[in-house]
Structures are given as C-alpha cells and as structure tokens.
C-alpha cells in the first residue's frame, strides 16, 4: 500500500497518487462521493491525508466492481455512525465473496492460457504434433 507522506496534496498530486484523473476527482466531489476539497486563497484544491485515504478506499471499492451508487450508499452508512457497522460489514463481505469468485475465474483462465502456451511451445519443438484447436 502506498504511504501518504504529505499532509496536503494538490489535485494534480492527488490524481497522480491515486491513479485517478483530475476530472474524475472533481466528478466524485460533484456527485458526493468525496467531500469538497479545501481551497487555497488562489482557488486551488488541496486534499488532506484523510481525504486521500478516502480516495484510495473509493478506488479499491470501484475496482471490485462496486457501482458508484453502491459506494455512495456505503459512504452514507459510514457517515451515519457506528449503528451501521453491521450493514457495512455485510456489504464488504459481499464484495469479498465477489472478489473470491473473480479470482477463481481468473485462475481458471490462467490455467487455460498456461496450457495453450505449453502446447504452442511443444509445437515449436515438434511441429509434427501440431494441434488444430487454437
């Protein structure tokens, strides 16, 4: 995990650090997924360490396939306080289950690709045994 070393970051630094574009960060602010950034006197956005951690968590949830509306709901539960912890656990457990299913499917695909590579390499060494199926 990346370590956040700065107390505050510009939008450009936040984008580079998180892997999101500046436009995406602005959009996430606009739709309420991120709190609005603090503004300097010149109007430039600055993000605290806590906001950067929020951006990173949001990107991780998105990477699991969670839709923006689902992420927004999760964040609303977080903001509602400790009475929603069980609901948040349930949401994260569902995401964990989905991740495990995705990993399983990817592992199966990896096995197929490894099998194909092995067969192609054998075909290079022994062209007589060329297989007709891909």
101 located within any domain: no
11 located within any domain: yes
**pLDDT tens, 18-62?**
999 999 999 999 998 988 888 888 888 889 888 899 899 999 999
Who contacts 58 (Cβ-Cβ below 8 Å, separation ≥6)? Answer: 28, 33, 34, 71, 75
Who contacts 70 (Cβ-Cβ below 8 Å, separation ≥6)? Answer: 61, 91
87 located within any domain: no
Token pair listed for 53: 């951690």
Split into its structural domains, the chain has a count of 1
pTM: 0.74
CATH number, domain of 54, equals: 1.10.1660.10
Which of 47, 60, 49 has its CA nearest to residue 19?
A: 60
DSSP state of 36: P
**pLDDT tens, 72-129?**
999 999 999 999 999 999 999 999 999 999 999 999 999 999 999 999 998 888 877 6
């Amino acid at each position: 995990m990346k370590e956040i070393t700065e107390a505050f970051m510009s939008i450009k630094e936040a984008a580079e650090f998180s892997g999101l574009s500046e436009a995406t960060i602005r959009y996430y602010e606009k739709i309420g997924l991120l709190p609005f950034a603090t503004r300097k006197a010149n109007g430039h956005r600055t993000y605290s360490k806590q906001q950067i951690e929020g951006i990173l968590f949001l990107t991780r949830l998105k990477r699991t396939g969670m839709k923006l509306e689902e992420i927004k709901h999760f964040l609303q539960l977080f903001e509602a306080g400790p009475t929603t912890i069980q609901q948040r656990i349930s949401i994260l457990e569902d995401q964990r289950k989905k991740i495990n299913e995705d990993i399983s499917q990817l592992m199966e695909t990896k096995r197929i690709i490894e099998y194909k590579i092995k067969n192609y390499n054998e075909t290079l060494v022994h062209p007589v045994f060329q297989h007709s199926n891909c």
